[in-house]
Every structure is written in structure tokens, then in C-alpha cells.
Amino acid sequence: MKEQPEATATTLFEEGVRLFEAHKFAEAIAPLDAALKLDPNYAEAWCCRGLVTGHLKRYAESVEDFNRVLAFTPNDHRALFNRGLVLAEWGKHLEALESYEQLLLLYPYHYEGWDSKGNSFTVLGRHMEALNAYERSLEFNPSYYKAFTNRGSALVNLKRFKAAIRSYDQAIGIQPDDPDVWYNRGCAFMSWEKPVEAIDSFDKALAINPKHLSSWVNRGNMLGKLQKEEEALACYDQATEISAHDTHAWNNRGITLRRLGRTIEAMASYDKSIEVDPHNFEAWDNRGYALAKVGKFSEAHASIDRSLQIKPDHANGIYNKGYCYACQRKITLAVDHIAQAIKINPTKYLPLAKTDPDLDSLRKNKRFQAILQGKF
């Protein structure tokens, strides 16, 4: 009987690579560890292990794996780039930026590095720096459509909507079949308060991928803006059929059902939203408002209080507490809460309070009238 040849570090590494490429990440660890036991200085094996542990969301291990590579080869562009990606996915964006900066100092033409650096700037709210990074990416690769897409998002964050749409159109000119680009274009029109144009982009995304969940949800949002509630409800039904685990789809479905006067069904939808994500403060708030609409004020307060425990400065929740108190004829408490909501967001809640029929019981109150004049 012929003996099997003894496994070498190279053959074990190659087995690990094969499993990694087959997306069998958990199985890939053992041969890679065996390869590294035979050759602790095997930089390629450490690099592959870093990719595997990153996919397994074992972020600390992954970063350490890439650090081992860099100890052997400090200029390894794959280790620098992938370490940055892992740190970003781990939520450590400042450290990710340091990794990208080391990469780009050595390889200034690394267009994916510039793009990823822009993504971390975006998460950190540094939108002008993000825009500059995306433009550097495109300087080195003018055909990299993802950088055009991300550039569009940076421009939206800077409220430069026309330029954002042009950037998305450039991305679409290169890659017309990516639903995410059309979706982001629709989101830009959403932010620009152009619901008809937004719906058109979401429709394009859904033509490419009929199960593009976020496009169904935002299409529903825009139809709601146009007061097409039945069509909006159909979008949310599609979204929840695709995934029963999208808290925003259930919450928005509840809002639409309430607007249609189907309050009991709305509350069931809010309950589903909260079941998926107990920290969805908007769903707790909307549930409370629906409970108030059916006269269950004690339960309404309790629900809105849960919302405010999660996000104490949630102006809509504070406003809805005021509405509950107004319904209960607790005028002083009602006015206190409406005033607080207006102080947090005067642009939205001052004009709303002036016309909201929910607050008609407060109209004769002198303090309330003074608040509507901006006198707190």
C-alpha cells in the first residue's frame, strides 16, 4: 500500500485557500493553523488567515493576523488594505483610517484604498474629506463606478443634490445593472424631497432585483409622501414578505395602516417591528400614538416612555406625550411637552403645532399661544 505524502506547509496553505475560496471559512482555519505550526513565518498563510477570521467576524484575531504579515513584510499592500477593511467593519474607523493612510503613503494609486478611506470618513461624519477621498479614487481609476456611487452619497450629505445625481448617473453609465446604485440615486431624490423622481429610481432598482428590500421600503415611504397609502402598503407588504426581519418595513407599514384608519392592524405591525428590534424607538413612539388614538392613554404613555428611554431627545416622542396629555385634558403637562419638542426641532414642530388638529384642545391656552409665537 502506497503511503500518503506528508502534508507540507504549502499543501496545507493551498487547502486553506481552497476552502476560503469555497466560502467554507470555519473549515479553512484548521489547515491554515497547521501550515503556520509548520512554518510560523509563512506570511501568505497569515494573510489568508486574516481574511478568513475577518469573514468569521473574529475581528481582533483578523487584525492580529494582518499585523503578523506586516511584521514580516511592512509594505504588504494586501495586509494594509484588508486590515483597514476589517477595522472599519469592526466599527474602529479612526484606526481603519490609519491603516489606509499607511497604505496610501506607500501606494498612492491604490484606488480601492482611497474609496475605503472615504467610506470611513463618511461614517465619522467628515463628508468633505470623504468627497476628496472618492475623487482621488476616481483620479486613479475613472472607471471605478463604486467610487462614483460613494461620491454621490458624500454630495448628498453635503446637500449638493444636483451634483450627487450627476455622480450616480456617471456610475450608472459604467454599470447600469447594479440595483444599489439606482437605490442610492433614489435616496438622493428622497433627501432632495423629490418623491416622483425617487420612485422612478427605486423602480429601476426593483426591475434589476425584485427582492431589493430597501427599495421596496423607500418606495413605500415616497408613495406615502404622495398620499398614495394603499400603494405604499403594498410596498411594505412586499418588503415584509421578502424579509420578516426588517424593523423599518414593519414600522412604516404600521404608520400607513394608521393613516388608513386601520389602527388595530397598525399596532400589530408596530409590535412586529419591536419584536425584530426592541431598540426601535420610532416604533415604540408610533405604537404609543396609535394607542392614544384608541383612548388607551396609560398604555400610550408607557409605550412612548420606552421610546424616550432609548432616545431621550426624540422630539416626536416628546410631542406625542404632549398629545396624550392634551387628550387627557392635562393642559399644563401637554403644553410643557409640546414646548420641549419645539425647542429641540423648531423647524418641524412649530409649524406642526400651529395647525395640528390633535392639539385643538390647547388653542385657548395663553401659554400655548405664546409658544406658537416663539415666546417660551
Whether 220 is covered by a domain: the verdict is no
pLDDT of residue 81 exceeding 60, the answer is yes
Amino acid at 296: K
Average pLDDT over residues 16-20: 95
Amino acid at 51: L
Whether 319 is covered by a domain: the verdict is no
Largest CA distance in the chain: 101
Residue 95 C-alpha cell reads as 484606526
Question: Which backbone phi and psi does 217 adopt, to 5 degrees?
Answer: -65, -50
What's the pLDDT at 174?
A: 98
DSSP, res 45:
H
What's the pLDDT at 4?
A: 47
pLDDT tens digits, 177-212: 999 999 999 999 999 999 999 999 999 999 999 999
pLDDT tens digits, 33-68: 999 999 999 999 999 999 999 999 999 999 999 999
What's the pLDDT at 6?
A: 61
What's the pLDDT at 2?
A: 43
Amino acid at 252: N
Whether 320 is covered by a domain: the verdict is no
Nearest one of 157, 161, 152 to 183, comparing CA atoms: 152
Sequence-ordered list of residues with C-beta below 8 angstroms from that of 327, at least 6 positions apart, any chain? 292, 295, 297, 358, 361
- 300 within 8 A of 292, measured Cβ to Cβ: yes
pLDDT of residue 11 exceeding 90, the answer is yes
Nearest one of 352, 271, 362 to 315, comparing CA atoms: 352
The CATH number that applies at residue 103 is 1.25.40.10
What's the pLDDT at 3?
A: 44
pLDDT tens digits, 149-169: 999 999 999 999 999 999 999
What is the distance between the alpha carbons of residues 23 and 17, in angstroms, rounded to a whole number? 10
> For the chain, how many structural domains are there in total?
1
Mean confidence (pLDDT) of the chain: 95
Counting Cα atoms < 13 Å in the Cβ hemisphere of 169 gives: 7
* Percent of the chain topping pLDDT 70: 98
Give whole-number Cα distances, 367 to 218, 233, 253, 375, in Å. 39, 40, 36, 9
* Model confidence, pTM: 0.88
Whether 16 is covered by a domain: the verdict is yes
Whether 226 is covered by a domain: the verdict is no
Sequence-ordered list of residues with C-beta below 8 angstroms from that of 190, at least 6 positions apart, any chain? 198, 218, 221, 222
- 183 within 8 A of 214, measured Cβ to Cβ: yes
Average pLDDT over residues 324-341: 95
pLDDT of residue 7 exceeding 80, the answer is no
What's the pLDDT at 102?
A: 97
Whether 87 is covered by a domain: the verdict is yes
What's the pLDDT at 322?
A: 96
pLDDT band at 299 (very low <50, low <70, confident <90, very high): very high
Average pLDDT over residues 247-255: 97
Q: How far is CA 163 from the centre of its chain?
A: 22
pLDDT of residue 20 exceeding 60, the answer is yes
Give whole-number Cα distances, 15 to 7, 34, 235, 344, in Å. 10, 11, 46, 59
Nearest one of 314, 366, 358, 361 to 340, comparing CA atoms: 314
What is the distance between the alpha carbons of residues 187 and 181, in angstroms, rounded to a whole number? 10
Whether 141 is covered by a domain: the verdict is no
DSSP 233-255: HHHHHHHHHH-TT-HHHHHHHHH
pLDDT of residue 122 exceeding 90, the answer is yes
Whether 66 is covered by a domain: the verdict is yes
Sequence-ordered list of residues with C-beta below 8 angstroms from that of 372, at least 6 positions apart, any chain? 350, 353, 354
Question: What domain range is 89 assigned to?
Answer: 1-107
Residue 31 C-alpha cell reads as 489547515
